[in-house]
Amino acid sequence: MHKIAEVEIQHDIMVANKKIAQRNQRMLDKAGVFTVDVLGAIGSGKTSLIEILIQKMNHKIGVIAGDVISKFDAGRFQKYDIPVIGLNTGKECHLDAHLVEHAFQDLPLKEIDLLFVENVGNLICPVDFDLGSHMRMVVVSVTEGDDTVEKHPLIFKDADLVVINKIDIAEAVGADEEKMANDAKMLNPDVEVIKSSLKTGEGVKEIIKAIEDFMK
């Protein structure tokens, strides 16, 4: 009995989330704001990558930064003098479409044309929660271990772009970044996979090109 009730509640939540996500996307389309979900493991380099993209991409960028309790990541973006909204999820390990819809009330959508939504660091919870974005970028790094991709298939099956980050320290942590890239391709043959180091700048140009190609 209990199990059946749990499944129904989960199903209702997903249906409600999907509806709001569709509403979010209509609003973003109307405002002409291309939106990228930035998903990935804790500490994989999501904020660092967005910081670099803010500086290197020739767009009017805004950021929604999701964190469990703090506003640390939102604070890191504020120094770039761009619109930033910090969202706290409380006990939840993912953003949902309703939270993001709330952020739109404070975000000057008319002043931006590219929005990054940094989700809470997690490779499992955010998978089912569509936010209304146009593209999903998943960032993992070699420090999580080179079996990370194959252990979390769902998030990679749904990704539009996969970034394998911190390749500058792959050897030091004994990780094979080529295996991680191949695993992502096995799970999602159409996905673009880019190996990067945000310390050396390797792969950054390719990431920018991949996002710009999606925006066309």
Long-range contacts of 70-74 (CB under 8 A, 24+ apart): 73/47, 73/118
* Cβ-contact 68, 89 below 8 angstroms: yes
Q: Is the dihedral of CA 69, 161, 214, 168 positive or negative?
A: positive
168 binds ligand GTP (CB under 6 A): yes
Q: Which residue has the tokens 């209304």?
A: 132
Tell me the C-alpha to C-alpha distance, in Å, between residue 215 and each of 14, 113, 169, 212: 27, 10, 31, 5
Q: How many residues bind ligand GTP (CB under 6 A)?
A: 17
89 binds ligand GTP (CB under 6 A): no
Give every strand in the sheet of 61-67, ordered side by side: 84-88, 61-67, 114-118, 34-40, 135-141, 161-165, 192-195
CA–CA separation, 34 and 115 (whole Å): 6
51 binds Mg ion (CB under 5 A): no
119 binds Mg ion (CB under 5 A): no
Q: How many residues bind Mg ion (CB under 5 A)?
A: 3
In 3D, which of 93, 52, 18 has the Cα closest to residue 198? 52
207 binds ligand GTP (CB under 6 A): no
47 binds Mg ion (CB under 5 A): yes
Decide which of ligand GTP, Mg ion, none touches 165; Cβ closer than 5 to 8 Å per partner kind.
ligand GTP
**Between 47 and 133, whose beta carbon lies closer to ligand GTP?**
47
Task: Give me the residue whose beta carbon is nearest to ligand GTP.
Answer: 121
46 binds Mg ion (CB under 5 A): yes
Least distance between ligand GTP and beta carbon 70 (Å): 9
**Between 46 and 136, whose beta carbon lies closer to Mg ion?**
46
Stretch that binds ligand GTP, among 22-30, 39-47, 53-61, 83-91 (CB under 6 A): 39-47
Residue 40 is inside which H or E element, if any?
strand 34-40
Contacting ligand GTP (CB under 6 A), which of 24, 28, 33, 46? 46
73 binds Mg ion (CB under 5 A): yes
- Residues engaged in binding ligand GTP (CB under 6 A): 40, 42-48, 73, 121, 165-166, 168-169, 197-199
